[in-house]
Amino acid sequence: MSDTPRALTILTDDENAFRSAIREFAEGEVRPLVTKMDQEAQIDPGLIKKFFEMGLMGIETPESYGGAGSSFLMACLAVEELGRIDGSCSVFVDVQNTLVTNAFLKWANDAQKKKYLPILAQQKVASYALSESSSGSDAFALRLKAEDKGSHFVLNGHKLWITNAYEAEIFLVFANTDFSKGYKGITGFIVERDFPGFKVGKKEDKLGIRASSTCELLFENCQVPKENTIGEIGKGYKIAIETLNEGRIGIGAQMLGISQGAYDATVDYIKSREQFGKSLAKFQAVQFQLSEMRCMLETARLHVYNAARLKDMGQDFALAAAMAKLVSSRHAEKICSLAVDLFGGNGFTKEYPVEKFFRDCKVGQIYEGTSNMQLQTIAKMELEA
């Protein structure tokens, strides 16, 4: 696979060729490991190495920093195609691209970009640390404290539900430097795994996307150099808001991929499964259900691609991102549920893939902004327009 990164870089201007390359990789390299990774609740380390070799961990990163120099839409296509096979691998690549790398591209200074972007594209896994036990939907209620000690900051507190934390070596962490200023005291920090006073805590045992690590982070007098402050002090809330808008499109792409995987498996199954002397695909009631699944799938796809293209064109995409995440996650649950129904008893067993798609899709309505928060965002933006 030594020539793979170059091959993918060449393909990045051709959406169909790029999608085909990712699909071939996902089918050949990811699919054989899906069951094992789900059972063991861990992404195969060898597969992570291949994500880097494929150029999948720095899709938007400029070539001058060792990335593919492609677009946000291409990142979403990769997330979608991986989600079609495994939701855990999909979100693993998604967080690296749509959250962490995007934040570095927009908010990091030149020295930080030079230091971190190459290793994020080619070598080290990253994680985005915003949520805490007291701050889920109310993201700015975070209590992680950052004290200015002159040459460095000292962080104390903890984070919860942090994706990719088990594998990550670089963490984009949000803490408050001045609680009297409320959310305007929030600041972003680049924390390396070996910083004194920092530790990755327990890994959550989850319903779905089990191979994707979700951990707590512990900060006990964690020392962070001043030069690892990302953006301006007190402007971390802006980084968080704008990055999550991009991240929601990525989650939309993940949900789209999971939906596509469930749909494809269902089409194959109803063609081969016979009842009353004919295949399930011959029954009109089944055909109608399949049609509903297809319509929901394409509706989600239009929302996700529209939001991604708006982002790439530099237009306001916040409303489109909220709608993309809301619609894609809701439709994913409906599509995967129908898939289980059409598989019948087989759909309730782990021998067939739709059981896992059904488990994996639920989190789409929870992380990176719940469905209720997306509804609130959509209404607020429409009423203030």
Residue 272, token pair as written in the block: 């081969």
Give 181: exposed, middle or buried? Use CB within 10 Å, 0-12, 13-18, 19+: exposed
Q: How far, in Å, CA of 370 to CA of 366, rounded?
A: 4
**Which H helix or E strand runs over 162?**
strand 152-163
Residues 6+ apart with CB under 8 A from 141: 132, 134, 135
188, β-bridge pairs: 174, 230
CB 175 within 8 A of CB 129: no
In the block, tokens 């975070």 appear at 142
Nearest to 34 by CA among 49, 46, 44, 22: 44
Say which of 274, 368, 382, 384 is annotated catalytic.
Answer: 368
Residue owning tokens 């190459």:
118
Indicate the Cα dihedral angle 81, 86, 89, 91, nearest 10°.
80
Q: What burial class does residue 150 get, using C-beta atoms within 10 Å of its C-beta: 0-12 exposed, 13-18 middle, 19+ buried?
A: exposed
Annotation says 368 is catalytic: yes
Nearest to 227 by CA among 314, 110, 93: 110
The distance between the two most distant Cα atoms of the chain, rounded to a whole number of Å, is: 79
Structure tokens at 20: 């085909």
What is the enclosing helix (H) or strand (E) of 88?
A: helix 87-94
Q: Among all chains, which residue has been given the structure tokens 């995440």? A: 325
> How far is 9 from 115, CA to CA, in rounded Å?
22
Q: Structure tokens of 153? A: 């900051």
Q: What span, in angstroms and rounded, lies between the C-alpha atoms of 259 and 83?
A: 8
- Return the structure tokens found at 304: 């996700």
The residues carrying an active-site annotation are 368
